[in-house]
Amino acid sequence: MADTNGPDGTGETGRGRQREADIRDDDLERRRRDLEASLATRRPDRLEGKDDAKAVTGYGQALKLSSEFIAGIVVGVAIGWIIDRLAGISPWGLIVGLLLGFGAGVLNVLRSAGLVAQFGQGGTPRDPEE
């Protein structure tokens, strides 16, 4: 009669241990797929196939909008200051330039956010969720 004990004397042969390891690996693979499916339903912002290079983060969008707002104010103040110096109407050119720059900055932010259509293009503003 042949000895059915494995090399370690446990009664398991190499094939038995391999089969048991395959079952554990299959079980782990199944659990991994279930976990991925569960995470995909909980995190809809992580869609497969989405190009991460084109995705704009919240901080990037905030930096872009704030810089456009500040640039509008700075340009308005600069133009007002130049008008003050050339025309000698200080401080009225600076005040008017500041107000116009503030309005231009707000308009730039609204255009960048897609809440106002571009001048001359008409139509409806695009959805900011896109």
Q: What is the pLDDT of residue 5?
A: 53
3-state helix vs strand vs coil in the chain, percent to 5: 60, 0, 40
Domain presence at residue 127: no
Q: Tell me the C-alpha distance between 127 and 130, whole Å.
A: 6
Q: Does the pLDDT at position 28 exceed 80?
A: yes
Residues 3 and 50 in one domain: yes
Residues 27 and 74 in one domain: no
Q: Which is more confidently placed, 43 or 102?
A: 102
Stated length of the chain: 130
pLDDT tens, position by position, 55-106: 667 888 889 999 999 999 999 999 999 999 999 988 999 999 999 999 999 9
Q: Tell me the C-alpha distance between 116 and 126, whole Å.
A: 8
Q: Tell me the C-alpha distance between 99 and 83, whole Å.
A: 14
Q: What is the pLDDT of residue 1?
A: 47
Looking at the structure of the chain, the number of domains it has is 2
User: At CA 120, angle to CA 114 and CA 124, rounded to 5?
Assistant: 40
Residues 70 and 43 in one domain: no
- Is residue 49 packed enough to be buried (19+ CB in 10 Å), middle (13-18) or exposed (0-12)? exposed
SS3 category, 123: coil
Residues 51 and 1 in one domain: yes
Residues 6 and 43 in one domain: yes
Give residue 63's domain range.
58-113
Residues 2 and 41 in one domain: yes
pTM: 0.49
Residues 2 and 17 in one domain: yes
In contact, 125 and 114? CB cutoff 8 Å: yes
